[in-house]
Structure 1
Amino acid sequence: MKNSYNVKSKLALLVVIFFTYFGFSQSNDQEQIKKLYDAALTQGKGYDWLNYLSNQIGGRLSGSIQAQQAVNYTKSQLDSLGLDKVWLQPVMVPKWVRGTPEFAYFETTPGVTTNMAICALGGSVATPPKGIKANIIELGGIEELATLGKDKIQGKIVFFNKPMDPTQINTFNAYSNCVDQRYSGALEASKYGALGVIVRSMNLRLDDFPHTGSMGYGEQSVDDRIPAAAISTNAADLLSTSLKLNPEINFYFKQNCKQFEDVESYNVIGEIRGSSKPEEIIVVGGHLDSWDLGDGSHDDGAGCVQSMEVLNLFKKTGFKPKRTIRVVLFMNEENGLRGGTKYAEVANTNKEKHIFALESDSGGFTPRGFTFDSSDKDFDKIKSWKPLFEPYLVHYFEKGGSGADIGPLKKDGMVLAGLRPDSQRYFDYHHAENDTFEHVNKRELELGSASMASLIYLVDTYGF
């Protein structure tokens, strides 16, 4: 009886110790997370950083003067935070230049024309100096090329008009389901003798802003490449309606883009060295480059300043991480992913141990949660943190994709994550002229920074 009593007493004591510790630990977490949110909303620097990136520098296309100015500016700001180390990591990037503004119209009868809002797709070749004018044929996607065949396509301009699916609540799924026409449309259409390609912009809203974005020719000979451009959603609907009334419409477009030799650029990196486990590295980042239309405030200036803010918030709240926290501003996500690839390559060469990476590349909108690329075991641990975020209305914790730049880092046992803001307005601005500073809400941007810092804090505190 005495032994039984002692066993029960010890078990009871262990239970008391466990719940006392757990309650104390959870209280500490709640307190630290509140400090991070309070600091972000009252002492944050991200909005001012974004203001400078957007309004003093502007669009930051890889290889451009503006991209280099952004490198210099963000390095100087990281230097000012008093981090343990700040440095530039060289990386060779493509240099594509848009040239003089594009011009397009369609012609219903000789001399009767309607101008179209148009922009060249990133990486496209130019049209001949006098432009291209030909009969245009509308397709609902790349798969329709084979259905029509070469006889009906040769010598024409192909108009890909597959819209983003409005019934998809996750707008990134809608984007993924039709972006192939933008990226591969020119390559595939050229195999059927097309002279050029026009693509409906990847945008759920009807407006007059054409959206650019990367496209590729694979290993195709330069001489066989055909020019590709995007038209706005309003222009696409007008052209489609006009073609139904008159299938003999001619389309004209002229663009002057050019691909140059690769040039040197940089990833911008800063870190707070861990106090007890410095060899374990946690990365938070976004991509510093943008397209040349607009100023890249949502894509991805917001993600860059939010990532920088994570380290600033740790400094502001006096949090000293056990593990090394590293911010990486990647170069060339938009048209090559060279920055992310180079960072992973150097990390592997140096035998660095990365345990976690978080990317923000979905705009500066209200944060809803995170997606995680992880094992089931690690995800179960992550889900136990979800109640700590619910007071801030951050409740979406799901397995899924993370971010393009951190993807090359992936190894067994490592966890990748992506911040998931509300996505309903993101594609209104994505890769378009209206992706500008005034469309970023200061408070939403700050809430995203605090959410990222809170997740990094928990990963650092509990590890995997």
Structure 2
Amino acid sequence: MRMIPMQQSFLSSPIRILLFIGVFMITTKGTTQKTTSAKQDSVIVKKIYNASLLEGKSYEWLDYLSNQIGGRLSGSLNAQRAVEWAEKELKELGLDKVWLQSVMVPKWTRGVTEFAYIETELGKTTNVPICALGGSVPTPIGGLKAPVIEVKGIEELADLGTEKIKGKIVFYNRPMQAELIQTFQAYGGCVDQRYAGAKEAAKFGAVGVIVRSMNLRQDDYPHTGAMSYGDLSNSEKIPAAAISTNGADLLSAMLKLNPQIKFNFNMNCRLWKDVESFNVIGEIKGTTYPNEYMVVGGHLDSWDLGDGSHDDGAGIVQSMEVLRLFKKIGYKPKRSIRVVLFMNEENGLRGGKKYAKEAKEKGENHVFALESDAGGFTPRGFSFDCDEANLQQIQSWKPLFAPYLIHYFEKGGSGADIGPLKKEKGIVLAGLRPDSQRYFDYHHAANDTFDAVNKRELELGAATMTSLMYLMDTYGIK
């Protein structure tokens, strides 16, 4: 068989020339389309950031929510005031639909300010800052005084046994791990002692529980948070309180010097019957795929010690701002976009569960959900609960965020309220990830107030969320 030189064969074959030209044109066209799309996306993302930073409303909203309404513990009057305020503000945005979704929530009240002291000997006492954990039963009238036994975690209780624990106050003193850069990982490593510490200590005859605050900073602010008694009967439940990090270190040092010291604390908290509250929902109807739903949200309730500016007032106003920014720049989404302001994330997750339940009952096709519930600090990026194909698509958008110093696009958790929307396939869940190094200085404490939030950081977060929502709407899920 005679071999034909490559050059001669190519030049003498009109068909091959036409094939080459066709492939070249298709490749060039695809590259040109991608380049054009990237440029268009870049322009829209720039518009979003400009609108948020120059004409944003998130900080103004947060000012009102924090300073005119304040802490919004579910079931409280302030929580209801927040519902009414949010419904009014969303209606003023001119959305296609705004409504309230009824949900029954727990009602727990703190009562008068808690009081505690360490007693080294009769008449010699040192006051320390404490606060009741959310859901705790009260102390007996006049307070509870007992010897203290210090542990670093729940697992130590079994080793000590009933003999050493009965009649005492268990003092959980495992700190957050300061060497962990991911502070939410440090939080997760010790929050079990707050949530389940009372339940487990009661099994060994403890009369009360004191828990070191979930805080990486040394200060005098005790941090509250949810706790559970599991299946304990009312007679078996024991009071549980958080102690500030400075107070915990003092108590620990004094126990080393004198293991016989006693701790006295007084709390008047109370759990009531469930009451009705609401998720607040606003929607822009999609122009192309109206039956595909994208959600952005945060939780409207907060703890009662501060005004809940970081947790989660910031997430609320940033989520509202997403829809306002779309309307501001004239963007009409292909898919229906909802802002959902969830009620009762802090001590029950009733709002998130109710929204997911009704969505399933109605057969609604949710394809994407984004939550902001990590504070109003400088945004770093997002974590995603999704498959590899969707993660790769999202990571291909990183160059669009690079000018705004957004770099974190990794697999991980999303958000508690949107978690119930998760299904086997067909949805991407995401959580905004701001810089977290200062978050637990304020989390669930009295210093979580409006003055702790930086206006520019808050607005950058809102723009970052809006940009991701735009891209997810434009390209859909894989």
Same fold (TM over 0.5): yes
Q: 1:93-108 residue pairs with structure 2 within 5 A?
A: 93-108=105-120
Q: 1:154-303 residue pairs with structure 2 within 5 A?
A: 154-303=166-315
* 2:17 aligned residue: 5
| 3-state DSSP of counterpart to 1:284 | strand
Q: 1:46-445 residue pairs with structure 2 within 5 A?
A: 46-411=58-423, 412-445=425-458
Deviations 1:68-110 (A, max 9, x none): 0000001100000000000000000000000011110010111
Tell me how far 1:299 sits from its aligned partner.
0.0
For 1:17, the aligned partner's letter is: K
Deviations 1:199-232 (A, max 9, x none): 0000000000000000001111011000000010
Tell me how far 1:274 sits from its aligned partner.
0.3
Show structure 2 runs of 5+ residues with no match.
1-12
Deviations 1:147-180 (A, max 9, x none): 1111000000000000000000000000000000
For 2:429, the aligned partner's letter is: L
Contact preservation (8 Å) 1:358, 1:406: yes
Distance 1:414 1:272 in 2: 19
For 2:44, the aligned partner's letter is: Q
Distance 1:278 1:364 in 2: 31
| 3-state DSSP of counterpart to 1:198 | strand
Contact preservation (8 Å) 1:136, 1:158: yes
Deviations 1:221-270 (A, max 9, x none): 01100000001000000000010000000000010000000000000000
| 3-state DSSP of counterpart to 2:167 | coil
Tell me how far 1:16 sits from its aligned partner.
1.2
| 3-state DSSP of counterpart to 1:241 | helix
| 3-state DSSP of counterpart to 1:149 | helix
For 1:289, the aligned partner's letter is: D
Distance 1:7 1:99 in 2: 81
Deviations 1:171-203 (A, max 9, x none): 000000000000000000000000000000000
| 3-state DSSP of counterpart to 2:170 | strand
Residues 1:459 and 2:468 are matched in the alignment: no
Contact preservation (8 Å) 1:96, 1:122: yes
* 1:39 aligned residue: 51
Tell me how far 1:19 sits from its aligned partner.
1.1
For 2:231, the aligned partner's letter is: E
Residues 1:446 and 2:465 are matched in the alignment: no
| 3-state DSSP of counterpart to 1:285 | strand
Contact preservation (8 Å) 1:58, 1:66: yes
Distance 2:440 2:32 in 1: 47
Distance 1:50 1:75 in 2: 15
Deviations 1:37-89 (A, max 9, x none): 00000111110110000000000000000000000001100000000000000
For 1:420, the aligned partner's letter is: R
For 1:443, the aligned partner's letter is: R
Distance 2:156 2:401 in 1: 46
Distance 2:48 2:337 in 1: 15
* 2:9 aligned residue: none
Deviations 1:391-435 (A, max 9, x none): 100000000000000000001221000000000000000000000
For 2:47, the aligned partner's letter is: K
Distance 1:147 1:178 in 2: 19
* 2:6 aligned residue: none
Q: 1:19-38 residue pairs with structure 2 within 5 A?
A: 19-38=31-50
Q: Which has the larger radius of gyration?
A: 2
| 3-state DSSP of counterpart to 1:433 | coil
For 1:460, the aligned partner's letter is: D
* 2:10 aligned residue: none
Distance 1:2 1:150 in 2: 92
Distance 1:456 1:462 in 2: 10
Equivalent pairs counted in the alignment come to 464
Distance 1:7 1:354 in 2: 43
Tell me how far 1:130 sits from its aligned partner.
1.6
For 2:360, the aligned partner's letter is: N
Tell me how far 1:272 sits from its aligned partner.
0.5
Tell me how far 1:361 sits from its aligned partner.
0.1
For 1:140, the aligned partner's letter is: K
Show structure 1 runs of 5+ residues with no match.
none
**What is the identity percentage for the equivalent residue pairs of Structure 1 and Structure 2?**
67
Distance 1:6 1:100 in 2: 86
| 3-state DSSP of counterpart to 2:196 | helix
For 2:448, the aligned partner's letter is: D
Contact preservation (8 Å) 1:92, 1:338: yes
Distance 1:217 1:149 in 2: 19
Distance 2:392 2:247 in 1: 48
